[in-house]
A and B are shown apart, each in its own frame.
Chain A
Amino acid sequence: MRLFSLPRLLALTLALLPVAASAQAPSDDPDEGIGLRFNGMGRTLLQQTNLGGNLADEDTVTPESQTDGEFVLDLALNAQPNSNTEVQGVIRFRNEFGGFFGAGVNVEVRELWARGVVADVIRYRVGDMDKVLTPYTLYLEEEDGVVLEPEVFRPQKDVLYYEEFYTGRNTRRLQGANLGFGLEFEQGLEALDVDAFVARLRGTNFSDTPTRLISGGRASMSTVPLTSYGSQVNLGANVVYTWDDLNSGNANEGLRNWVLSTDFDIAVLDNPSFNLSVIGEGGLSTVSLSERVREATGLPTTVTGPDGGSVVIQDSAFVVNSIFEDDDTFIEVGLRSVYKPLDLSVTARFVNVGPDFFSAAAQSKRVDFSRALGVYNRLGNDRLERLPTLFDLTRDAELYTFRVSEELMAYDPRYSNVLPYGNATPNRRGARLGIDYTPAEGALDASLDLALLTELRGQGTTELKDFLHLRASADVDVATLTGLNRLFDVTLGLQVEDTSRGGVEVEQVDLSSLLFEAGFAFEIYNRLDVLAGTKLRTASGREYIPIFENFNDVRDFPAPFDIDDQETLLGAGLRYRFRDDVYLTVQFQHLSYTNDATPAEGVTLPPEDYSFGQIFALYSMFF
């Protein structure tokens, strides 16, 4: 029985497609965009970093200053022969500071894609693309060490975002193919949208590393208002499958990771002033290490060989078996109420993410804490490795990645210990409260997120950790408040985390951390801004940082992580905006780091009590 009249295929043009993350977004007017365009990005960055502090006084090995920089030009060739087809390629020219006459110059293709609409119905994209589904399936969580980045630190962070293809919409950069279509209905259902993709995460080395692929998609539907209360149902089904192609190369073992989920947003009440919805997502994951083995098929047969003797022939075929497998579920369900006159939203959620839940494409972090730091990785006469600092997290491209990891990545509990893998962090259960005040026309955007969570399964003990996580931010447009006709923006950010666990002394955990951010941007003259800000982080206590194996199994705890450190990052400078997307900024930033922790027996503390001073000039231009 058909419930609805025939749906009408949603006619599409490029204007309705998601905007690509490229050097410059194409025009949303399909007819205006037809033709051949050159656009792109140019950047010049020069920076000098000086080492100081008590450590530097005794350090006779490490150079006191480092100077580096780069000149980058990304030239984008964008062709749109008609309103339904678009292709773009970005060629990068890069010259490291100090390189000349061709030395240190790289020329590479940074981006290639084509997109379009088939028969005004099916949208497609091949090549580079940015995908996001839900926080549990395919998602790129924000980086550590930031709540609301002060404007003074944004230029260097923007460089990182651009380099790593971070779009600000939690998308992951993939390379593959994408197909989608939408249906509009006249009754009951409002719209149905289907989107599917397949992409290659890595290529084979034709030896022991197989090709890794990811595929998946989402089907979502929304109804028209169903009751006089404005009740409405929005449902989505998501699937992501990450797997190794064991037919590529000579590898015999590979990853298989399925994640399936259903998300829902059911408006119970919706009127011009108030909305009350049941929201959430639930699903499951399976992860396995699969092995390809050759097995006999059928019975052996005896044939006469070329020399007249008997030869036994046994047919065989490759089969894939699971060496081991883990599966688990997750659920996030809650209520969201929105008071529309104030654009005030309050969300209360219950979350329960199983300890074995594994979603490679959602849990992979932006910051890879296992990597060596790009600046002053080792300090002191003993050449000890530094711990990452806010200084590194705001500018060090070596730490950042957009790759999908096959294993839960290392994390730094000083920056994120409660939800190091975002919403998809496994082994968490509890309540989360969110308040967002984001008026479309207003001088203040503010948000608060409180999480009270606990573990589901103990790590190294049957005792469970309790977590508190509080994040608050405010973006104050002082110019609007005071009636100034110039830029005057103040930002504040705060993150407080606390982790505790009882038990015998060696099992006890008590780690507290605080991250505070404040900054302002003030236009002192036409398009000339003063930028200043600070980031302060403190962490103290003890925690155990697990080492993972087999995707998400805890292999060991190398040593108790005792910390009592603090760091302060100060920045100030000038920025001149030639126009939107073209600016020059010159800044001085200073980091001071101290660590007063008493290490556990046999544990060597990383370098302590040092400072960095950095002066840099950045010219950035999108054209």
Chain B
Amino acid sequence: MSRTVSFEGARRAMKTWMGASLVLACVLTLAACDHATDGIDGPFLVDRFGEFTLVEPLSAVQGEVDFAGGQTLAFEAAFNKQSNWVIEITGQESGAVKRIEGFSREIDDLVATWNGSTSVLPFFRAEPVEAKLLIDGAVLDESPPVTVEVTSARVYPGEEVTGFEEDDPATLVLGNFEFEFDLTATGPSSEIPAAEGESFYLLRSTGGPTVADPFFIGLTSIFPAADGPDYFSVPTTIPEDLFFNAALYSFGTPNTIAVVQVGVDSNGNGVYNDGIDAVVSVIDQPVDWQGWQLFSIPFSDTNFTQEQLETIVAVRVLLISDNNGQPNPPLPVDYGIDFITFTAGGPLEL
């Protein structure tokens, strides 16, 4: 029902309205004072412009670690500002180096946990390691190095062909043209720290006044253990998923070519028959760097079928002299190889 109210009625209504307006103003005031004030606007000024100060020096949460047993090692440190930090862990015997990097104000198990892996070959062994803290690329003197005893090295995934250790069950056979090898050096060696374990396999040609001239210096064949299965064990037979991994060492010797081949049992007799069984070179590579380097090759790069990959019967390691580049008389050539493995799903991760 509509009606026209009197002026007095309207006035009373307006008074009520005015009171309501005042109440509304108070409510608005309270409501409008609720803001998101957590956090800050922009980057921390201390991070942008502050002088770096070490709050807590680097420390390891435990004095020894058993990587093979599944343990990990966490590091801790704290600074006054977010910083680019690096923890550099060095094996005292192997020379292996692991770098853990980050940008944060604190180092804890969330950002700095070591599982025994390495950044630069060789792999760590059971050995004492020393961890140093670097800030913006420079060693922080206020944070002394931390020493931790590694009681067992990390066990890497995949199937190992050979690590060239003394107790390695794989059978090594020095192949043709071994007279071009320097037989005093060629073979399992610890001339330099191995990529994994105590020893690696060194291939070196003759040197001195009578230098090996041929293009093909020689080869070493690796077969499954005599008392074991006929074929090497592989984690998968799908070519796209199966990777061949090997660490090669370069002494910086010029004109050196490394070839690594994988042979499969084409005739099905359980042994490798040269000239009969199919062979593919998975590595064919000039050795022209310095130190250890890991090579990982998927078998999808080869023409091996899934069935053939069930019968890998040999791995052959060849030393080649690049005669096109050799002076006259030619110089000796050499390289090392270690830790040959098969992995599934991807390359071997250091």
Q: How far is the CA of A457 from the CA of B10 in the complex (A)?
A: 46
Chain A 524-547 near chain B by CB (<8 Å), digits 1 or 0: 000000000000000000001010
The reply to whether the CB of A460 lies closer than 8 angstroms to some CB of chain B is: yes
The verdict on B179 contacting chain A, using a C-beta distance below 8 Å, is no
| Stretch in A35-43, A122-130, A170-178, A549-557 with 4+ CB within 8 Å of B | A549-557
Q: Is the CB of B4 within 8 A of A226?
A: no
> How far is it, in angstroms, between the C-alpha of A600 and the C-alpha of B50 when the chains are bound?
12
Determine whether A338 belongs to the interface, using a CB cutoff of 8 Å to chain B: no
Cβ of B39 under 8 Å from chain A: yes
Asked if B208 is at the interface (CB within 8 A of a chain A CB), the reply is: no
Bound CA span A556–B41, Å = 9
Interface size class of B (residues with CB under 8 A): 35 or more
Q: Let me know if A462 is at the binding interface, CB within 8 A.
A: yes
Q: Mark B26-66, 1 if CB is under 8 A from A, else 0.
A: 00110111111101111111101111000000000000000
Docked Cα-Cα span, A507 to B17, in Å, equals 49
Which B residues are CB-close (under 8 A) to A506? 45-46, 49-51
Decide yes or no: A331 and B29 within 8 Å by CB, A226-B11, A557-B48 being known contacts: yes
> B18 in the interface, Cβ–Cβ < 8 Å?
yes
Residues of chain A within 8 A of B290, CB atoms compared: none
Within 8 A of B (CB), among A1-49: 1-5
Distance in Å: Cβ of A220 to nearest Cβ of chain B: 13
For the complex, what is the distance from the CA of A224 to the CA of B45, rounded to whole Å? 55
Asked whether A328 and B36 contact (CB < 8 A) given A3-B5, A187-B7, A188-B10, the answer is yes
A460 touches B45 (CB 8 A): yes
User: In the complex, are the beta carbons of B32 and A330 less than 8 A apart?
Assistant: yes
A-side interface residues, number (CB < 8 Å): 56
Kindly identify, within residues 274 to 332 of chain A, every residue whose CB is under 8 Å from any CB belonging to chain B. Answer: 278, 280, 282-284, 328-331
Q: Are B18 and A231 in contact (CB under 8 A)?
A: yes
CB distance from A548 to the nearest CB of B (A): 9
Does A459 lie within 8 Å of B40, measured CB to CB? yes
Contact call B41/A460, Cβ cutoff below 8 A: yes
In the complex, the chain B residue whose C-beta lies closest to that of A461 is B45
Q: A231-B18, A233-B14, A266-B22 are in contact. Are A356 and B36 (CB under 8 A)?
A: yes
Given A188-B10, A331-B29, A355-B35, A2-B44 contact (CB < 8 Å): no
Q: Specify which chain A residues have a CB less than 8 angstroms from the CB of B3 in the assembled complex.
A: 1-2
Contact partner, A328, options B28, B35, B40, B46, Cβ 8 Å: B35
- Point out the residues of chain A lying under 8 angstroms from B350, CB to CB: none
Which residues does chain B contribute within 8 Å of A233, judged by CB atoms?
14, 17-18, 21
Among B263-308, those with CB < 8 Å from A are none
Is A461 a contact of B25 with CB atoms below 8 Å?
no
Closest to A553 in B: B41
Is the C-beta of B173 less than 8 angstroms from some C-beta in chain A?
no
Contact across chains for A560 and B49 when beta carbons are under 8 A apart: yes
A189 to B17, CA, bound (A): 11
Interface residue? A156 (CB, 8 A):
no
The answer to whether A457 and B37 have CB atoms under 8 Å apart is: yes
Q: Using Cβ atoms and an 8 Å threshold, which residues of chain A touch B21?
A: 233, 235, 264, 266
Question: In the bound complex, do residue B13 and residue A3 qualify as a contact, i.e. CB atoms below 8 Å apart?
Answer: yes
In the complex where A231-B18, A329-B34 touch, is A457 in contact with B25 (Cβ < 8 A)?
Answer: no
Shortest B24–chain A CB gap in Å is 8
Q: Does B226 contact A (CB under 8 A)?
A: no
Determine the distance from Cα of A380 to Cα of B48 in the docked complex, in whole angstroms: 30
Q: A460-B43, A506-B46, A557-B43 are in contact. Are A5 and B4 (CB under 8 A)?
A: yes
Check A226–B48 contact: CB distance below 8 A.
no
Name the contact of B25 in the complex, choosing from A282, A329, A429 (C-beta under 8 A).
A282
Within A239-286, which residues are at the interface with B (CB < 8 Å)?
262, 264, 266, 278, 280, 282-284
Is B1 part of the contact surface with A, judged by Cβ < 8 Å?
A: yes
Interface residues of A in 493-537 (CB under 8 A from B): 504-507
What residue in chain A is nearest B16 (Cβ atoms)? A226
Whether A331 and B43, one on each chain, are in contact in the complex, defined by CB atoms closer than 8 angstroms, is no
User: A188-B10, A355-B35 are contacts. A459–B41 as well, Cβ < 8 Å?
Assistant: yes
A227: CB under 8 A from chain B? yes
Instruction: Report whether B32 and A352 are in contact in the complex, using a CB–CB cutoff of 8 Å.
Output: yes
A456 at the interface (CB under 8 A from B): yes
The verdict on B2 contacting chain A, using a C-beta distance below 8 Å, is yes
Residues B45 and A554 in contact, CB atoms below 8 Å apart: no
Give Cα A262 to B24, complex, Å: 10
The CA-CA distance from A375 to B236 in the complex, in Å, is 75
CA distance A565 to B247 in the complex (A): 65
A453–B227 Cα distance when bound, in Å, is 86
Known interface pairs A2-B4, A226-B18, A355-B35. Does A282 touch B28 (Cβ–Cβ under 8 Å)?
yes
Instruction: Determine if A155 is an interface residue (Cβ-Cβ < 8 Å).
Output: no
- The minimal Cβ–Cβ distance linking A20 to chain B, given in whole angstroms, is 34
A50 in the interface (beta carbon within 8 A): no
Nearest chain B CB to A289 CB, angstrom units? 18
Asked if A210 CB lies within 8 Å of chain B CBs, one says: no
Contact of A554 with B41 at beta-carbon distance under 8 Å, contacts A3-B10, A356-B36 already known: yes
Decide: A329 near B10, CB < 8 A? Known: A266-B21, A461-B40: no
Q: Give the CA-CA distance A302 to B15 in the complex, in Å.
A: 68
Q: Is the CB of B33 within 8 A of A331?
A: yes
Q: Give every chain A residue within 8 A of B50 (Cβ-Cβ).
A: 504-506
Known: A1-B2, A187-B10. A226 touches B35 (CB 8 A): no
Contacts of B13 in A (CB 8 A): 3, 188
Distance in Å from the Cβ of B29 to the closest Cβ of chain A? Answer: 5
Which residues of chain B come closer than 8 Å to A330, judged between CB atoms?
Answer: 32
User: Is the CB of A354 closer than 8 A to any CB of chain B?
Assistant: yes
Q: Are B44 and A460 in contact (CB under 8 A)?
A: yes
A400 to B221, CA, bound (A): 83
Q: Which residue of A lies closest to B36 (CB)?
A: A356
Most buried by B among A458, A504, A506: A506
Q: Are A462 and B40 in contact (CB under 8 A)?
A: yes
A559 to B48, CA, bound (A): 9
A356, closest chain B residue (CB): B36
Determine whether the beta carbon of A460 is less than 8 Å from that of B10: no
Given contacts A226-B15, A278-B22, A280-B29, 11 further A-B contacts (CB under 8 A): A188-B11, A231-B18, A233-B14, A282-B32, A330-B32, A354-B36, A356-B36, A459-B40, A459-B42, A461-B44, A546-B41
**22 contacts across the A-B interface (CB closer than 8 A):** A2-B2, A3-B9, A187-B10, A226-B14, A226-B18, A233-B21, A264-B21, A282-B31, A329-B33, A354-B35, A457-B36, A457-B37, A459-B40, A459-B41, A460-B42, A460-B48, A504-B50, A553-B41, A556-B42, A557-B45, A559-B49, A600-B49
**Top 6 closest A-B pairs, CB basis?**
A554-B42, A331-B32, A188-B10, A460-B45, A282-B28, A554-B41
Q: State the A residues within 8 Å of B (CB).
A: 1-5, 187-189, 223-224, 226-227, 231, 233, 235, 262, 264, 266, 278, 280, 282-284, 328-331, 333, 350, 352, 354-356, 427, 429, 456-462, 504-507, 544, 546, 553-557, 559-560, 600
